[in-house]
A = this chain, B = another copy of it.
Amino acid sequence: MTEFYPFITLGVALLALLYVAVTTRRVLRHSEGSERMSSLSRSIRAGASAFLKRQYTVVAVFFGGLFCVLGVLALTRLLNPFMPFAFLTGGVYSGLAGFIGMKIATSSNARTAHACQGSLNRGLRVAFSAGSVMGFTVVGLGLLDLSVWLILLKFVFHESVENIAATVITFGMGASSMALFARVGGGIFTKAADVGADLVGKVEAGIPEDDPRNPAVIADNVGDNVGDVAGMGADLYESYFGSLVSAVALGVAAFKGSADALKTRAAIVPLLLAGLGVLCSILGTFLVRTKENTNQKSLLSALRRGTNAAALGVAVLAFPLVRFVLGAGYTGVYGAVLAGLVAGVLIGLATEFFTSDSYKPTRTLASESETGSATVIIGGLGLGMLSTCVPIVIIVICILVAFFAAGGASSAAMGLYGIALAAVGMLSTLGITLATDAYGPIADNAGGIAEMAGLDHSVRERTDALDSLGNTTAATGKGFAIGSAALTALALIASYKDQIEQLAQKTGSSFTFDMGLMNPSVLAGLLLGACLPFVFAALTMQSVGRAAQSIVREVRRQFKEIAGIMEGKADPDYKTCVDLCTRASLREMVLPTVIAIAAPVAVGLLLGPNGVIGLLAGATATGFLMAVFMSNAGGAWDNAKKHIEGGAFGGKGSDCHKAAVVGDTVGDPFKDTSGPAINILIKLLSIVSIVFGSLVLSCHLL
């Protein structure tokens, strides 16, 4: 029976991709509306495709270089021969997830706008279907890649479970590197365009958002697709994948000394859980239906019904699954899965509490605009920092419950396997939660097209309603992304320790871990690691600032040099702005990624594996905090501004509104560039450490 499990998960992966194909066809059957709408959509699609093409070219060069490095390590037997190839496939799949997401999003923006001309409900259906294409592409590809490699390594190459576990982590490295490029590059593009367009368009020229007279408007809409869609796709592919591979590796480690069959079963449990999640998610999507002539509230409950049903399905069915596969002695593992699932939901609720204008924190923030932009900034920073305490308590409880439920009291390795499974549990329903998350940017784009094509005001109102709904569901999605990142990073640290110990044993090295906090190497590593998210956030924020300034200069130039723009008589030169954003973001995305890969290797060579453990723990702790802080501050500023635009404190155009716009502009790189990129950073650091573990073990200074 155990033999067939990878084929089951392969089957589920193919089912998810079939769902994708069917849904895509259904979406494409809708009309794009008028020729103007269709042409706008084409421009956006062309800009996004051109960006991704150039971005992937840069990334390919980088991957080529790293492939050679890994190849040399493999030739010197510091890595097994599959690893360089596994690295490449991880990258390709992650990039593919982003690309498909972008394609469907840019093909459905005009269609969503057109559907909104009919009714809100029709708009939701198109946007949500497009979002679910994205969601199931991510989970389908993830499960496919992993299942195929397992089958290949096991049945074709007859590798040991230990070797399989080590290999799968290398494709985690491919996926994470690609994701970091996509998030950072796309994040810089989208926010540079957004901030640049706002600063000159809204603030200086006084024209509304998405006004076709703004030369940066197409760049802004392209940005939504390459950052919020393609970037998010690659990002969540990486999260999903990372949680699975770390659980596979820790499953093998937890049953060290047991029979191979038991190890294999432990390794396959995460994939089976993921498969279960995919099935529940597909069923959940069928529950997202509303009557015609519905209102925003019932739309939200329709979305919630789908995600909740999927989560409930996993919660109920995971128990028999775990019991059947692992046997009656290990049902405690189910507790870990459940802890992760519940923690994800709770973090999502906390995110919503801190960032939605239905609750006090964001309302108070909006009121702080009465004394100007400085108090809005202070308030938002304070809110973001304070908001870290709830998710951290949830994660701490989740860690302890997962560890001890899985049997950590008698075997630490089982406990760590439990932590990894908590991450898997949290992300098991990613297919549907990502669908509710990804449809937001599509609705946003649809709104842009409605505005630029001069559609009836009611259409924009409907897309805005969808967009604002998207903000709420995105809060939940972010909770899952951040929570799972922390758990996965911890699981990867545990895998690191395990891999190094195995290597030391295999190579006869005398190295043993002393991870105690009073070991100066650990302390030094901890401090350096804690610093990395700060540096990373700084670099990405400064990149956005620089790129935005170049857009500001270009837009100002066009307003000055192209006569008749403001009267709508001459077309602005959209392409130059798209080009500027593309070049700036490609230039700026390299350094942060290189740091993320070089830091753990450099620290390892200097301080040894103990220093690396410190580095990873420090980076995970501050990374989690910075990600929550920046996401929530950004979200709260955004919604405080929207709250004022809804009529509070003088409404649009008032002094309060201007102050809130400053907050929102600061929040843009916070929530859409730096914050999400840090989630990837903390995992990439661990994975790189694992891959280069044998190099570090064979030569280090301290």
Interface residues of A (CB under 8 A from B): 195, 199, 203, 368, 371-375, 377-379, 381-386, 388-389, 392-393, 395-396, 399-400, 403-404, 408, 412, 415-416, 486, 490, 493-494, 497, 513, 515-520, 522-524, 526-528, 530-531, 534-535, 537-539, 541-542, 544-545, 548-549, 552, 613-614, 617-618, 621-622, 624-625, 629, 661-662, 665-666, 669, 702
**Chain B residues, Cβ within 8 Å of A524:** 396, 399-400
Q: Would B662 and A517 count as touching, CB distance under 8 A?
A: no
**Chain B residues, Cβ within 8 Å of A403:** 520
**If A379-B542, A403-B520 touch, does A372 touch B199 (CB 8 Å cutoff)?**
yes
Q: Give the complex CA separation of A214 and B35 in angstroms.
A: 62
**Chain B residues, Cβ within 8 Å of A662:** 372-374, 377, 662
Q: In the complex, what residue of chain B is closest to A537 when comparing beta carbons?
A: B385
Q: Would A520 and B415 count as touching, CB distance under 8 A?
A: yes
**Chain B residues, Cβ within 8 Å of A617:** 517, 523, 526
**Chain B residues, Cβ within 8 Å of A541:** 378, 381-382, 385
**If A199-B372, A203-B372, A542-B386 touch, does A516 touch B513 (CB 8 Å cutoff)?**
yes
Q: Would B385 and A538 count as touching, CB distance under 8 A?
A: yes
Shortest C-beta distance, A607 to chain B (Å), equals 9
Main secondary structure of the interface of A (DSSP, over half): helix
Partner of A517, one of B486, B493, B537: B493
Q: Would A382 and B545 count as touching, CB distance under 8 A?
A: yes
Q: Give the complex CA separation of A199 and B373 in angstroms.
A: 10
Q: Give the complex CA separation of A290 and B384 in angstroms.
A: 49
Q: Would B515 and A625 count as touching, CB distance under 8 A?
A: no
- Between A373, A378, A544, A666, the greatest number of chain B beta carbons within 10 A of the residue's beta carbon is seen for A378
Q: In the complex, what residue of chain B is closest to A494 when comparing beta carbons?
A: B518
Other than A371-B548, A378-B541, A494-B518, give 18 A-B pairs with Cβ distance below 8 A: A199-B374, A203-B372, A374-B665, A375-B548, A378-B666, A378-B669, A383-B542, A385-B537, A385-B541, A389-B531, A392-B531, A399-B523, A399-B524, A400-B702, A486-B527, A515-B518, A517-B522, A530-B625
Q: Give the complex CA separation of A415 and B520 in angstroms.
A: 9
**Chain B residues, Cβ within 8 Å of A527:** 392, 395-396, 399, 486, 621, 624
Q: Give the complex CA separation of A494 and B523 in angstroms.
A: 12
Q: Give the complex CA separation of A621 and B388 in angstroms.
A: 16
Shortest C-beta distance, A660 to chain B (Å), equals 11
- Between A203, A408, A541, A613, the greatest number of chain B beta carbons within 10 A of the residue's beta carbon is seen for A541
Q: State the number of copies, please.
A: 2
**Chain B residues, Cβ within 8 Å of A528:** 392-393, 396
Q: Would B622 and A386 count as touching, CB distance under 8 A?
A: no
**Chain B residues, Cβ within 8 Å of A408:** 520
**Chain B residues, Cβ within 8 Å of A399:** 520, 523-524, 527
Nearest 8 Cβ contacts at the A-B interface: A386-B538, A385-B538, A374-B665, A530-B621, A515-B516, A382-B541, A382-B542, A385-B534
Shortest C-beta distance, A609 to chain B (Å), equals 12
**Chain B residues, Cβ within 8 Å of A392:** 527-528, 530-531
Q: Give the complex CA separation of A614 and B526 in angstroms.
A: 11
Q: Would A518 and B538 count as touching, CB distance under 8 A?
A: no
Q: Would B199 and A371 count as touching, CB distance under 8 A?
A: yes
**Chain B residues, Cβ within 8 Å of A389:** 531, 534-535
Shortest C-beta distance, A84 to chain B (Å), equals 29
**If A392-B527, A527-B621, A662-B377 touch, does A382 touch B199 (CB 8 Å cutoff)?**
no
Shortest C-beta distance, A67 to chain B (Å), equals 30
Shortest C-beta distance, A292 to chain B (Å), equals 42
Q: Give the complex CA separation of A614 and B518 in angstroms.
A: 11
Q: Would B375 and A629 count as touching, CB distance under 8 A?
A: no
Q: Would A621 and B526 count as touching, CB distance under 8 A?
A: yes
Q: Would B518 and A497 count as touching, CB distance under 8 A?
A: yes
Q: Would A383 and B538 count as touching, CB distance under 8 A?
A: yes
Q: Give the complex CA separation of A393 and B379 in angstroms.
A: 31
**Chain B residues, Cβ within 8 Å of A621:** 526-527, 530, 618, 621-622
Partner of A545, one of B368, B384, B614, B625: B368
Q: Would B544 and A385 count as touching, CB distance under 8 A?
A: no
**Chain B residues, Cβ within 8 Å of A622:** 530, 621-622, 625
**If A392-B527, A517-B493 touch, does A534 touch B625 (CB 8 Å cutoff)?**
yes
Q: Give the complex CA separation of A528 and B252 in angstroms.
A: 30
Q: In the complex, what residue of chain B is closest to A375 when comparing beta carbons?
A: B545
Q: Would B379 and A535 count as touching, CB distance under 8 A?
A: no
